[in-house]
Amino acid sequence: MEIEFIPGLPFEQGRLNVIVAPARTFIDFFNETLNFQRFMTLYVCGNYSLVLNWIDKSMTQFDVQRAFNSYQLLTILRECSFSIVIVEHDPTLYEGGDEGDMIRFVSESMQDLAHSSLVILFAPKMDDVLSRLLGHAKRYVFCGDEKMFVPQPRPLGPPVKKRLIGEKWCGQQTLNVTYSEG
């Protein structure tokens, strides 16, 4: 099976297809592609979806499944029998545990599924997890600003809290305090 998801770029069954694009661009491509209404389509997302609320609600052959961790994502991929599978990338699924092994297992499962289904992995921007998932991808499509395609390193230390003071955003970092009695 082959569909032209992005004008001039056919996506094919038998390979893992990856698209990195702003969510709005992906939503427009998705809603304008009639093939998603002709074939049984599964949309898999994680803890939070940037796309799901904006998908055309009139689609009849469309199903959604959520994975709240990488093990659930792996199960969904292994039990899938849909013609088209779209996976919205969520790096939080891989936090904790055997992160490296699970990324490899999920990547291999998506490629295995691509032999029988058209598989598209969507991400709104590059990150460390996505760059490791790309190991089995056969086609990458990047749409948008080039800054989106450079993975941003994970911050070290506690998160920085930002607040608006006047017209300027100021960052405040939580400090670790050690008390000693002397």
Give the mean pLDDT per block of 10 residues along the chain (182 residues).
71 85 88 79 91 83 91 94 93 81 91 92 90 79 67 53 51 46 52
Instruction: Give me 22's structure tokens.
Output: 């702003």
Rounded to whole angstroms, how far apart are CA atoms 102 and 84? 23
Identify the pLDDT of residue 171.
47
pLDDT of residue 9: 74
- Domains defined along the chain, listed by start: 2-154 (3.40.50.300)
Q: How far is CA 77 from the centre of its chain?
A: 14
Please report the pLDDT score of residue 113 as a whole number: 94
Confidence (pLDDT) at 122: 94
Rg (the chain; Cα; Å): 19
For residue 60, what pLDDT is reported?
77
Q: What global pTM score does this model have?
A: 0.76
* β 2-6/9-12 pair status: antiparallel
